Amino acid sequence: MDEFLLLVAVILAVAAFSSTIYIHIAFRRRDSFLTGFNNLLEASTVHLLSLIRRLEGRVDGLSKDVQKLSIDSGKLSLELEAQGRLLEEVKEDLKPLMRTYIKLSQGFRGLHEKLSNLEKQLSLQQAALKTQHRERPPRIRPAEEREVSFARLTPTEMEVLRLLYVSGPKTASEIREVINRTREHTARLMKKLYLEGYVERDTTTTPYIYKLSSKIRKSLEFSMKKPREEA
């Protein structure tokens, strides 16, 4: 019986000792956990405070930027208002100029149209004058109005005048046979003498008949009588 009690006492003592050791170990573990948790909490708190300070700095910076932007926005608004007023003033000043420009443009347009019409009229008149000039035959002055000068005539022309003075009126073909020139040369020669008033042309016959004008005949008579009288 005593041994049994002793054994029970030993078992209880061992159990009590084991419990004590377990409790001690548990308390040690709890303290270690609490210490780690405390350290972690302190580190997190420090980090959080650091973040809060940085955020406060950013908020302050943003606040300053907002204030600056607000000031700049106010200045910009004032500047825009001033520019708007200046633009309105310029527009008001430009209105008379625009009205003047419109009047000048209309005047220039009307002047341009008038000049164009004048140019067209001048072109038509010039064309009409050219047509009249081409269609109008050369004006032949009467023989008595023309200046007679035998000095300007060629020997062939003087020969024709003497032939008509001596032999009387002749056709161009008859004159050509005497002066021995081509038909074209004779035609040009007789036309010149006719236009300058030395001869007259009878257009009622075909071919035309040429004769001396009365003034030329008198001049030839005078020029031929003078040498005879001197002789």
Query: In three state form, how does the secondary structure of the chain look?
Result: CHHHHHHHHHHHHHHHHHHHHHHHHHHHHHHHHHHHHHHHHHHHHHHHHHHHHHHHHHHHHHHHHHHHHHHHHHHHHHHHHHHHHHHHHHHHHHHHHHHHHHHHHHHHHHHHHHHHHHHHHHHHHHHHHHHHHHHCCCCCCCHHHCCCCHHHCCHHHHHHHHHHHHHCCEEHHHHHHHHCCCHHHHHHHHHHHHHCCCEEEECCCCCCEEEECHHHHHHHHHHHHHHHHHC
- Quick one: 38 and 133 in the same domain? yes
Q: Are residues 38 and 123 in the same domain?
A: yes
On whether residue 17 sits in a domain, the answer given is no
For 76-119, how does the pLDDT look when each residue is reduced to its tens digit (9 = 90+)?
888 888 888 888 887 788 888 788 878 888 887 888 888 888 88
Question: Which of the listed ranges 21-35, 50-64, 200-214 does the model predict with the highest average pLDDT?
Answer: 200-214
- Mean pLDDT, residues 63-72 taken together: 77
Residue 93, pLDDT score: 82
**In contact, 226 and 212? CB cutoff 8 Å:** no
- Two structure tokens written together for 198: 């030395």
Give the tokens for residue 43: 């580190």
pLDDT-based confidence at 31, cuts 50/70/90?
A: low
pLDDT digits (tens, 9 = 90+) for 1-16: 666 666 667 677 767 6
Best-predicted range by mean pLDDT (15-19, 35-39, 126-130, 168-172)? 168-172
Residue 165 has pLDDT above 80, yes or no: yes
Last residue of a domain, one of 103, 137, 171: 137
**Residue 197 — left, alpha, or beta (φ > 0 → left; ψ -120 to 50 → alpha)?**
left
Judge whether residue 221 has pLDDT over 60: yes
Question: 175, 216, 170, 176: which is closest to 197 by C-alpha?
Answer: 216
| Averaged pLDDT score across all residues of the chain | 79
Indicate the residue among 86, 107, 137 that finishes a domain: 137
The answer on 164 and 128 residing in a single domain is no
| Structural domain contains residue 29 | no
Tally of structural domains, the chain: 2
Examine the pLDDT at 173 and tell me if it is beyond 90: yes
Structure tokens at 92: 């008001």
Positive or negative CA dihedral for 226, 228, 229, 230?
A: positive
Domain of 132, in residue numbers? 34-137
Q: Is residue 23 part of a domain?
A: no
Instruction: Name the pLDDT band for 189 (thresholds 50, 70, 90).
Output: very high
Confidence of residue 231 (pLDDT cuts 50, 70, 90): very low
Residues 33-54, mean pLDDT to the nearest whole number = 75
Report if residue 4 sits inside a domain.
no
At CA 110, angle to CA 108 and CA 114, rounded to 5? 115
Residue 160 and residue 116 in one domain? no
Q: Is the pLDDT at 136 greater than 80, yes or no? A: no
> In this model, does residue 140 exceed pLDDT 60?
no
User: 111 and 78 in one domain?
Assistant: yes
pLDDT at residue 44, rounded to an integer: 73
Q: Does residue 40 sit in the same domain as residue 133?
A: yes
Q: Which of 107, 137, 167 is the last residue of a domain?
A: 137
The C-alpha atoms of residue 44 and residue 39 are separated, in whole angstroms, by 9
Decide if 201 is inside a domain: yes
Quickly tell me which residue has 């009588």 as its tokens: 225
Q: Is residue 125 part of a domain?
A: yes
Asked if 192 and 136 count as a contact pair (C-beta separation under 8 A), the reply is no
Contact criterion met (CB below 8 Å) for 164 and 179:
no
> Hey, which of 32-36, 125-129, 133-137, 210-214 has the most confident mean pLDDT?
210-214
**Crossing angle (nearest 10°) for helices 172-179 and 183-195:** 110
β-strand partners of 211:
200
Question: d(Cα 8, Cα 17) in Å, to the nearest integer?
Answer: 14
